[in-house]
Structure 1
Amino acid sequence: MNWKWSVVAILLIASISCMRNAKEKKELPVLGAKDVVRQDENGENYIDTVYAQIDDFSFTDQDSNTVTGDYYDGKVRVVDFFFTSCPTICPKMKKQMLRAYEEFKGNKNVKFLSHSIDTRHDSVPVLNDYANKLGIEANQWKMVTGPEDDIYSIADEYLVSASEDSTAPGGYVHSGAFVLIDQNHQIRGYYDGTLPKDVDQMMIDIKSLLEEE
């Protein structure tokens, strides 16, 4: 009898493991604004849902290269907002982003994109120095700057907060979220960039998006 119960126990453990994997790797929803439109196909009308995509943009990275939305066509990317002199959540966020970067290092289909919201201080040389201290490669993790209005506008596109605030530590406030964007420039997830467990789930979700290709 003992060996039979051992077999049952092994099967139960395997079943639970499969259930957990299925739960963790569930299909990700498309988030953000959507429009319901009427399409015509072969003379017949049908209702279709169209989800918003992140608009094109143009910024400058830590190597003085221009970065546009086209660079991320067909790629999964993780996006955040920060500033190099941030005394609060940014160090925690960068520690967690670096962990995800190391997990997917060398994967040409996974990119990381950090926008500085301190456009006066965070010049290209400052961003370059910051990136070098993290030990990251610009072809996979870009730190960008640009006109202040453009930075805040793209933050709105990602549905996260970013603004100057003289009463805040460091003079700025911003979301601590990591935003997961799919190969079609659509939002697929939000994660607390200061929490390891959230970033663990984000890495699972990145792998799920890669399997959607």
Structure 2
Amino acid sequence: MIPIISIPNSLANFKEKNTNQNLRNRFSPSPLILFLITLCLFHTNCKKSEQTPSASVLPYFSGKDFDPVWVENPEKDLSLKKIPKSFALTEHTGNQILSKDWAPSEHLVVFFYATCHGICPLITRNLIQVEPNLSEFPNLKIFSISINPKEDTVPVLQNYRKTFQIKNPNWSFFTGKEKEIENFAKETCGAEMEGFSVERGKYEFVHTENIFLFDKDKYLRGIYRAKGTGDVQRLVEDLKKLRQKIN
């Protein structure tokens, strides 16, 4: 007769735990696999938030290279170019406004300085010429921002506006803090600055002929050359696209 050997409960429990642990080790993913899975999910979610480039939809601009991107939820992408909420300017009326208080409408932004005799008057005149084409956008705001705020005081801005006989109440001229304007021009608009010229005594922008279009949520949506009429006409068409998107 074969004797029956009784296995202690502690030994049986140990074997059961050891077997379960081996199973867990065999079927549990490694940290590397978990990382790769997480990365794939993140990439998939990012792809879902991006839209396919479309001629009927204006892009946003992202990163230091101002890459055009199409996204469904721009508020979730902090890399998109957007006017900072704390950006402060002083209007030709003497009123100071923060960008967070700007009217919820499209804005055209240009840079100038009052004593400029080159590109600045050209931009101003071109905008005056295309104003009739912008009449279908009654809420559109035009902001001419001085890059020489130390000299372009409120009275200087008022005189500049009077010189060009600008009557449009939605076209404002601004001065402000030099560093804030410079940062806004560089970081948000991509308007590179050469720096202060002792000989000329003025700040010089490399791309001073550009007009910048911001949507009602203050995101940068288009960059246009003020020289000629081709890009200005494209600007009008792009404004229509923004309005269609809203409606």
Give the TM bin, normalised by the shorter chain. 0.7 to 0.9
Higher relative contact order (CA 8 A, sep 6+): 1
2:57, 2:245 within 8 Å by CA — same for their partners in 1? no
Q: 1:155 matched to which residue of 2?
A: 185
Q: 1:104 matched to which residue of 2?
A: 134
Q: 1:53 matched to which residue of 2?
A: 82
Q: 2:72 matched to which residue of 1?
A: none
SS of residue paired to 1:31: strand
Tell me: CA distance 1:168–1:114, structure 2 relative to 1, closer, same or farther (3 Å): farther
User: Among 190, 193, 209, which residue is 2:226 paired with?
Assistant: 193
Residues of 1 paired with 2:155 and 2:228: CA distance?
29
Q: CA deviation at 1:113?
A: 0.6
RMSD: 2.4
Question: Percent identity over the alignment?
Answer: 25
1:73, 1:185 within 8 Å by CA — same for their partners in 2? no
Residues of 2 paired with 1:146 and 1:138: CA distance?
21
Q: 1:145 matched to which residue of 2?
A: 175
SS of residue paired to 1:53: coil
Residues of 1 paired with 2:194 and 2:143: CA distance?
18
1:100, 1:203 within 8 Å by CA — same for their partners in 2? no
Letter in 1 for 2:223: Y
The farther-off stretch of 125-134 and 104-113 is: 104-113
Q: CA deviation at 1:92?
A: 1.3
Within 5 Å, give how 1:66-105 maps onto structure 2.
Answer: 66-105=96-135
The farther-off stretch of 83-92 and 169-178 is: 169-178
Letter in 2 for 1:59: L
Q: CA deviation at 1:148?
A: 0.8
| Structure 1: gaps (5+ residues) | 1-24, 35-47
1:132 partnered with 2:162? yes
SS of residue paired to 2:126: helix
Q: CA deviation at 1:60?
A: 0.6
SS of residue paired to 1:179: strand
Tell me: CA distance 1:99–1:162, structure 2 relative to 1, closer, same or farther (3 Å): farther
Letter in 2 for 1:66: Q
The farther-off stretch of 191-200 and 97-106 is: 97-106
The farther-off stretch of 96-105 and 110-119 is: 96-105
The farther-off stretch of 165-174 and 178-187 is: 165-174
Q: 1:21 matched to which residue of 2?
A: none
| Structure 2: gaps (5+ residues) | 1-54, 67-75
Q: 1:28 matched to which residue of 2?
A: 58
Structure 1 residues 19-71: Cα deviation after superposition (integer angstroms, max 9, x where no partner): xxxxxx7211111339xxxxxxxxxxxxx655342102111111111122134
1:116 partnered with 2:146? yes
Structure that is richer in strand per residue: 1
Letter in 2 for 1:199: V
The farther-off stretch of 188-197 and 167-176 is: 167-176
Tell me: CA distance 1:190–1:52, structure 2 relative to 1, closer, same or farther (3 Å): closer
Q: CA deviation at 1:135?
A: 2.5
Residues of 1 paired with 2:130 and 2:106: CA distance?
13
Letter in 2 for 1:53: K
Residues of 1 paired with 2:97 and 2:198: CA distance?
32
Residues of 2 paired with 1:106 and 1:211: CA distance?
13
Query: Which of the pair has more CA radius of gyration?
Result: 2
User: Among 44, 62, 78, which residue is 2:92 paired with?
Assistant: 62
Residues of 1 paired with 2:126 and 2:199: CA distance?
23
